[in-house]
Amino acid sequence: MKIGPYELANNLALAPMAGVTDKPFRDLCKSMGASVAPSEMVTSDTRLWHTQKSRRRMDHSGEAEPRIVQIAGADPKMMATAAKLNVERGAQIIDINLGCPAKKVCKRKAGSWLLNDEPLVRAILEATVDAVDVPVTLKTRTGWSPERRNGVRIATIAQDAGIAALAIHGRTRECRFSGAVDYETIRDIKQSVRIPIWVNGDIDSKKKARQVLSFTGADGVMIGRAAQGRPWIFREIAHHLNPARQEDARSETDIFETRDIMRVHLQNLYAFYGEYTGVRVARKHLGWYLKENSGAASVLSQAIRATSTVEQMALLETYFANAIARKDVAA
């Protein structure tokens, strides 16, 4: 895939997820095979950028290219300004959020609420594209509700406005994250536009990725929740889709590599957030990593109560030492 001047290493993307895709997780997923990894959603209201949370979301120091910042808002001028300022801070691609179904976002008439107002969508996209000299992409859904699927019209508006690529979650705003994924509409969208399409929604295995790409004709897949606790899914899918291009023929992880990945991830979380916040952010990642592992319940219970990095890391080391000794996970 190619987005503007950027020739991507493959057609796999990490989905932007609030509270998940911070810089340490983006770096990890890129190292495991994701070619692009947009930031967490950043508000277009620059008056709120003074907070530590916003500053962290816009921190791309040392991040592998292309650096992508996702912005959200409902005012074309504010979105254009936010895009321009983020480019000045190092963003190489701007991604617009038209897919978030959260009530607090939709109450501000942003995110997937905008699917209600196609003229406003056009105004926002045109203003943002005109404001910057970098590619602008769009993350969206198939429509507002199953009865109001306007994904094809939104995609056409996006293409006409100069959007460089689309990522489409195969559910409507009303469906949020439940129910069957509507890959049919994504197929219709792909047939209606010429720009690259990432298909998103319930792609949780290499087999599913191949099936969805074949059915929809999409150019790539975007992985969200399936990467939580399993960032190596990108490597697995990349190897499955095109094994000849993989330098490392091994696509699966063993217990030793899983341990090393988790070590590095936790260390990077601690460094990025500091002791107090780092330990607390690490808790949810530990839960995702260990939720299906044999014998993990006890150590996980302790790890999510740990209040220091030393204690939390020691629990992780003890868990893996015992797991290796028991051979609970194939080595």
pLDDT in tens, 6-45: 999 999 999 999 999 999 999 999 999 999 999 999 999 8
Mean pLDDT confidence for 175-185: 91
Mean pLDDT confidence for 169-186: 91
Q: Give the C-alpha separation, 4 to 307, whole Å.
A: 45
**φ, ψ at 108 (rounded to 5°):** -90, 10
- Mean pLDDT (the chain) is 91
Q: Is the pLDDT of residue 145 over 50?
A: yes
Residue 330's pLDDT is 40
Mean pLDDT confidence for 51-77: 90
pLDDT digits (tens, 9 = 90+) for 296-324: 888 888 988 999 999 999 999 999 988 88
Q: Which residues contact 93 (CB under 8 A, 6 or more apart)?
A: 3, 4, 6, 36, 38, 66, 67, 68, 69, 134, 135, 136, 137, 164
Confidence band (pLDDT; 50, 70, 90) for 257?
A: very high
Confidence band (pLDDT; 50, 70, 90) for 174?
A: confident
Residue 331's pLDDT is 37
Residue 244's pLDDT is 66
202's torsion region: left (phi>0), alpha (psi -120 to 50) or beta?
A: left
> For the range 210-219, what are the long-range contacts, defined as Cβ-Cβ under 8 Å and sequence gap of 24 or more?
210/240, 210/241, 212/183, 213/241, 215/183, 215/187, 216/183, 216/186, 216/187, 216/190, 217/187, 217/190, 217/191, 218/186, 218/190, 219/1, 219/11
**φ, ψ at 140 (rounded to 5°):** -145, -170
Mean pLDDT confidence for 46-65: 86
pLDDT digits (tens, 9 = 90+) for 188-219: 999 999 999 999 999 999 999 999 999 999 99
Mean pLDDT confidence for 111-122: 92
- 29, 100, 106, 175: the catalytic one is 100
100 among known catalytic residues: yes
